[in-house]
Amino acid sequence: MIIPSLDFISGKIVRLYQGNYNHKTYYEIDIFKQIDHYIKQGAKHIHLVDLDRCKNPSNNQKHILKIISHYNEITFQVGGGIRSQKDVEDLFNVGVSKIVIGTSAILYPDDFKLWLDKYGCNNFILALDIKINRDNEKKIAIHGWKNITNINLESAINDFLPYGLKNILCTDISRDGTFLGPNINLYKNLKKKFPNIILQSSGGISSLADLYHLKKNNIEHVIIGRAFLEKKFTFLEAQKCWQKE
């Protein structure tokens, strides 16, 4: 599936370059109009990221809740600063389809394991944002990518698999917002090591050819943000390419 992504700060659409809050681009596009635009082209599922809460989880979820409650014809997956069971329940209560958990799963793995059991494994996506070092080690970043941990990508996945983990969103930070193309080898190796995981790729998409290579390597879903906003191609074109392949 092709999944349009919208990141926002104070309700305004924005894109960060490699997760850097000091290197951001605002788009003079109303977020509701942009979602409507995707719906008209056939989108059924949208990825939303609350960057305010990524930076400061104590901020309330008013913008997310307002957006979600406005629509009933599509589904949403939502991420950004989700730290507590109340955060989770508020999102499910307003109609969120899948909740994206990143930092909390790494810092408080026992809580995430309980949520997988309590609310259902299919309703969560584990967001694993990685920084690949000189030794080709894939280290997980947390707190809106501000902090790089010593935890390896594969070990994090293995920790949650016995508790029913099904969905992973993996982002190579060095590719995010760059138009450099996705890290095909990263996703190819992940699918080889964890064939039963449903994988979402994110970061670097710049052309329909990128989608071809991801589909060829059996990646189930692709998150696309900047390429749509800057009209590299349309959602409709991306969807036709994906279905064709």
- List, by residue number, the catalytic residues: 7, 129
Q: What angle do CA 222, 226, 228 make, to 5 degrees?
A: 75
Give the residue from 68, 191, 183, 57 showing the smallest Cα distance to 130.
183
| 193's tokens | 């090591």
| Length reported for the chain | 245
CB 96 within 8 A of CB 141: no
CA distances from 160 to 102, 106, 109 (A): 13, 10, 8
Task: Name the phi and psi angles at 188, rounded to 5.
Answer: -60, -45
Helices (DSSP H) in the chain: which residue ranges? 31-40, 51-55, 62-69, 85-94, 103-107, 109-119, 153-160, 184-193, 208-216, 226-229, 235-244
